[in-house]
Chains A and B, each alone.
Chain A
Amino acid sequence: MSRARKPLVLEELGAWLLGLLWVIPLLFAVWAAVHPPEFAARFDPTAPLTLDNFAMAWERAPFPRYFLNTFLLVTLILAGQFIVCTLAAYAFARVRFPGADIVFALVLIQLMITPDVLIVENYRSMAKLGLLDTITGMGLPYVASAFGVFLLRQAFKQVPRELDDAAQIEGASTLGILWRVYVPVARPIYVAYGLVSVSFHWNNFLWPLIVTNSVEKRPLTVGLALFGAAETGVDWSTICAATLISVAPLLIAFLLFQRQFVQSFIRVGIK
Chain B
Amino acid sequence: MSSISVTGLTKRWGSVTALHGIDFEARAGELVILLGPSGCGKSTTLRIIAGLEEATSGRIRFGDRDVTALPAAQRGIAMVFQSYALYPHLSVRENIVFGLKVRRLPAAQRESRLERAAEILGIGKLLDRRPAELSGGQKQRVALGRAIVAQTPICLMDEPLSNLDAQLRQDMRTEIRALQRRLGMTMLYVTHDQTEAMTMADQVILMRDGRIEQKGRPADLYMRPATGFVARFVGTPPMNLLALEGAALTALESAVPVLGLPPLPRGGHLGVRPESLRLADAGLPALVATVEYLGADSIVLCEVGGQRVAVRVDGATDLAPGNAVRLAWRTEDTHLFGPDGTRLAPERVEVAA
- Which residues of A pack against B, CB within 8 Å? 160, 162-163, 165-173, 176, 180-181, 184-185, 187
A171 near B88 (CB under 8 angstroms)? no
State A168–B53 Cα separation when bound (angstroms): 12
- In chain B between 126 and 171, which residues have their CB closer than 8 angstroms to a CB of chain A? 146, 150
Contacts of B50 in A (CB 8 A): 165, 169
The 7 tightest CB contacts between A and B, nearest first, are: A170-B99, A162-B85, A166-B85, A184-B89, A171-B73, A162-B81, A168-B72
B78 near A169 (CB under 8 angstroms)? yes
A168 near B89 (CB under 8 angstroms)? no
Report the minimum CB–CB distance from B347 to chain A (whole Å): 43
Whether B57 sits at the interface, judged by CB under 8 Å, is no
- Determine the residue in chain A with the shortest Cβ distance to B152: A169
State A121–B280 Cα separation when bound (angstroms): 95
State A172–B150 Cα separation when bound (angstroms): 13
Contacts of A184 in B (CB 8 A): 87, 89-90
Contacts of B103 in A (CB 8 A): 170-171
Given contact pairs A165-B79, A169-B73, enumerate 6 new A-B contacts (beta carbons under 8 Å).
A166-B146, A168-B73, A170-B103, A173-B73, A180-B87, A184-B87
Cβ-neighbour of A169 out of B77, B82, B89 (below 8 A): B77
State A168–B70 Cα separation when bound (angstroms): 12
Contacts of A170 in B (CB 8 A): 73, 98-99, 102-103, 146, 150
Whether B247 sits at the interface, judged by CB under 8 Å, is no
B98 near A165 (CB under 8 angstroms)? no
State A168–B103 Cα separation when bound (angstroms): 11
**Residue with the highest number of chain A CB atoms closer than 10 Å, among B83, B85, B99:** B85
B87 near A172 (CB under 8 angstroms)? no
B87 near A169 (CB under 8 angstroms)? no
Contacts of B77 in A (CB 8 A): 169
Report the minimum CB–CB distance from B97 to chain A (whole Å): 10
Report the minimum CB–CB distance from B322 to chain A (whole Å): 52
Query: Please, could you name 16 A-B residue pairs with CB atoms under 8 Å apart, sorted by A?
Result: A162-B85, A165-B47, A165-B72, A165-B79, A165-B81, A166-B79, A166-B81, A168-B52, A168-B72, A169-B50, A169-B75, A170-B99, A170-B146, A171-B103, A173-B73, A184-B87
State A170–B83 Cα separation when bound (angstroms): 16
- Determine the residue in chain A with the shortest Cβ distance to B88: A185
Contacts of A176 in B (CB 8 A): 102
Whether B228 sits at the interface, judged by CB under 8 Å, is no
Contacts of B90 in A (CB 8 A): 184
Contacts of A171 in B (CB 8 A): 73, 99, 102-103
Query: Given A160-B83, A185-B88, are A169 and B72 neighbors across the interface (CB < 8 Å)?
Result: yes
State A160–B51 Cα separation when bound (angstroms): 18
State A167–B88 Cα separation when bound (angstroms): 13
- Determine the residue in chain B with the shortest Cβ distance to A160: B83
Report the minimum CB–CB distance from B282 to chain A (whole Å): 57
B73 near A172 (CB under 8 angstroms)? yes
State A172–B74 Cα separation when bound (angstroms): 10
- Determine the residue in chain B with the shortest Cβ distance to A183: B89
State A165–B87 Cα separation when bound (angstroms): 11
State A198–B20 Cα separation when bound (angstroms): 55
**Residue with the highest number of chain B CB atoms closer than 10 Å, among A167, A170, A173, A176:** A170
A167 near B98 (CB under 8 angstroms)? yes
- Determine the residue in chain A with the shortest Cβ distance to B52: A165
B89 near A162 (CB under 8 angstroms)? no
State A160–B73 Cα separation when bound (angstroms): 19
Report the minimum CB–CB distance from B190 to chain A (whole Å): 13
Query: Given A169-B52, A169-B78, A185-B89, are A162 and B83 neighbors across the interface (CB < 8 Å)?
Result: yes
Contacts of A173 in B (CB 8 A): 73
Report the minimum CB–CB distance from B48 to chain A (whole Å): 12
Contacts of B71 in A (CB 8 A): 168
Report the minimum CB–CB distance from A166 to chain B (whole Å): 4
- Determine the residue in chain A with the shortest Cβ distance to B97: A170
B102 near A163 (CB under 8 angstroms)? no
Binary interface encoding of chain B residues 97-125 relative to chain A, with 1 for a CB under 8 A from any of its CBs, else 0: 01100110000000000000000000000
Cβ-neighbour of A181 out of B73, B87, B146 (below 8 A): B87
State A171–B73 Cα separation when bound (angstroms): 4
Binary interface encoding of chain B residues 41-52 relative to chain A, with 1 for a CB under 8 A from any of its CBs, else 0: 000000100111
Query: Given A166-B81, A169-B79, A170-B73, are A185 and B87 neighbors across the interface (CB < 8 Å)?
Result: yes
State A163–B102 Cα separation when bound (angstroms): 15
Cβ-neighbour of B85 out of A163, A172, A180 (below 8 A): A163
State A185–B86 Cα separation when bound (angstroms): 11
B102 near A172 (CB under 8 angstroms)? yes
**Residue with the highest number of chain B CB atoms closer than 10 Å, among A172, A184, A185:** A172
- Determine the residue in chain A with the shortest Cβ distance to B89: A184
Report the minimum CB–CB distance from A198 to chain B (whole Å): 23
Report the minimum CB–CB distance from B218 to chain A (whole Å): 28
**Residue with the highest number of chain B CB atoms closer than 10 Å, among A160, A171, A180:** A171
Contacts of B146 in A (CB 8 A): 166, 170
Report the minimum CB–CB distance from A266 to chain B (whole Å): 22
Contacts of B73 in A (CB 8 A): 168-173
Contacts of B85 in A (CB 8 A): 160, 162-163, 165-166
Contacts of A168 in B (CB 8 A): 51-52, 71-73
Report the minimum CB–CB distance from B13 to chain A (whole Å): 12
Report the minimum CB–CB distance from B56 to chain A (whole Å): 16
Report the minimum CB–CB distance from A138 to chain B (whole Å): 34
